[in-house]
């Protein structure tokens, strides 16, 4: 957590230096929001922050691509220039081309996990990527913490990790069952916050209680994001020497 906090502050500093003071403003989940045009540009900035913080080789990157946002349903292609209202349709890419881009990025940057690499309705793309990649592939929009979609994703080999949003499925009981279904399939589980959050810390307790090994709760900024991180620290203090840190085994933390 200390490493993450230090890299975050360095990233904020680098963003303001390169893109102007406004780049230090934070978004809904605490992340900085510089005017970046490409994934390569963003990842370079992040790895520079990691390096300048002294953590090269110790920190890995997990991406949330949210690709449903730039999927062209009729053409079944992805518009990487989607922020441009006049984007060139001839430059839209197929899912195979997008998968190649992910693999190329992973050769340059320490990427270990990709969430929603393809659109929620592009099941063929997910299965293709699953067969041809060794990333952790996290289903969020694909599964929406729904048992029916989780079962389909398991059967079609679409992904290998579940983004668990408790208030998306509706009850703690159903959330626990969703995690159990994921574990039974050999998946990883990433317990997640929502964009609109409160200072409730329940998901921190759930992440530890389920032995998830992964939690997505925003940057170390904004009180509703920090609340979860502080709760994890309190849990660690309470557990003492019984606390287990999964580290690089985050995908199979439940088995530790």
> Whose CA is closest to 193, among 180, 206, 184, 182?
206
Q: What residue has token string 């398991």?
A: 154
Catalytic residue (one of 77, 165, 216, 228) = 165
Res. 252 pLDDT band, cuts 50 70 90 = very high
What is the reported pLDDT for 76?
98
Rounded to an integer, the average pLDDT of 135-159 is 96
pLDDT of residue 196: 85
Domain at 143-256: CATH code? 3.20.20.120
Q: Where are the domains positioned within the chain?
A: 1-57, 60-141, 143-256
Active site residue 29: yes
Whole-number mean pLDDT of the chain?
96
pLDDT for residue 67: 98
Active site residue 107: no
Q: Please write down the HEC assignment for all residues of the chain.
A: CHHHHHHHHHHHHHHHHHHCHHHHCECCCCCECCCCCCHHHHHHHHHHHHHHCCCCCCCCEEEECCHHHHEECCCCEECCCCCCCCCCHHHCECHHHHHHHHHHHHHHCCEEEEECCCCCCCHHHHHHHHHCCCCEEEECCCCCCCHHHHHHHHHCCCCCEEEECHHHHCCHHHHHHHHHHHHHCCCEEEEECCCCCCCCCHHHHHHHHCCCCCEECCCCCCHHHHHHHHHHHHHHHHHHHHCCCCHHHHHHHHHC
- pLDDT of 167 > 90? The answer is no
pLDDT, position 170: 86
pLDDT on residue 89: 97
Give the per-residue pLDDT at 80.
96
Asked if pLDDT for residue 159 goes beyond 90, the answer is yes
pLDDT digits (tens, 9 = 90+) for 56-83: 999 999 999 999 999 999 999 999 999 9
What tens digit of pLDDT does each residue of 3-40 get? 999 999 999 999 999 999 999 999 899 999 899 989 99
- Tell me the percentage of the chain whose pLDDT exceeds 90: 94
The mean pLDDT of 179-203, rounded to a whole number, is 95
User: Is residue 195 very low, low, confident or very high in pLDDT (cuts 50, 70, 90)?
Assistant: confident
Helices 202-209 & 223-239, crossing angle to 10 degrees?
Answer: 40
Task: Please pick, among 10, 12, 29, 197, the residue that the annotation labels catalytic.
Answer: 29
Residue 75 has a pLDDT of 97
pLDDT at 204: 97
- Residue 97 CB-half CA count within 13 A: 9
């Amino acid at each position: 957590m200390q490493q993450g906090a230090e890299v975050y502050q360095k990233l904020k500093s680098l963003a303001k230096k390169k893109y102007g003071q406004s780049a230090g403003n934070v978004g809904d989940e605490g992340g900085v929001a510089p005017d970046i045009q490409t994934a390569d540009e963003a990842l370079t900035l992040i790895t520079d922050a990691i390096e300048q913080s002294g953590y090269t080789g110790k920190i890995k990157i997990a991406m949330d691509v949210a690709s449903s946002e730039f999927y062209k349903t009729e053409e079944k292609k992805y518009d990487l220039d989607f922020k441009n209202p006049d984007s060139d349709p001839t430059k839209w890419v197929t899912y195979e081309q997008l998968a190649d881009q992910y693999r190329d990025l992973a050769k340059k940057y320490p990427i270990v996990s990709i969430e929603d690499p393809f659109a929620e309705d592009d099941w063929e793309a997910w299965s293709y990527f699953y067969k041809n990649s060794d990333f952790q592939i996290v289903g969020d929009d694909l599964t929406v913490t729904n048992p029916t979609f989780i079962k389909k994703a398991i059967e079609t080999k679409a992904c290998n990790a579940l983004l668990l949003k408790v208030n998306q499925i509706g009850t703690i009981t159903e959330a626990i069952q969703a995690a159990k279904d994921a574990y039974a399939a050999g998946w990883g589980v990433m317990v997640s916050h929502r964009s609109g959050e409160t200072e409730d810390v329940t998901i921190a307790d759930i992440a530890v209680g389920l032995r998830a090994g992964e939690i997505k709760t925003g940057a170390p900024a904004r009180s509703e994001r920090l609340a979860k991180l502080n709760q994890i620290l309190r849990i660690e203090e309470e557990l003492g020497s019984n606390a287990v840190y999964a580290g690089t085994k985050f995908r199979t933390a439940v088995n530790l």
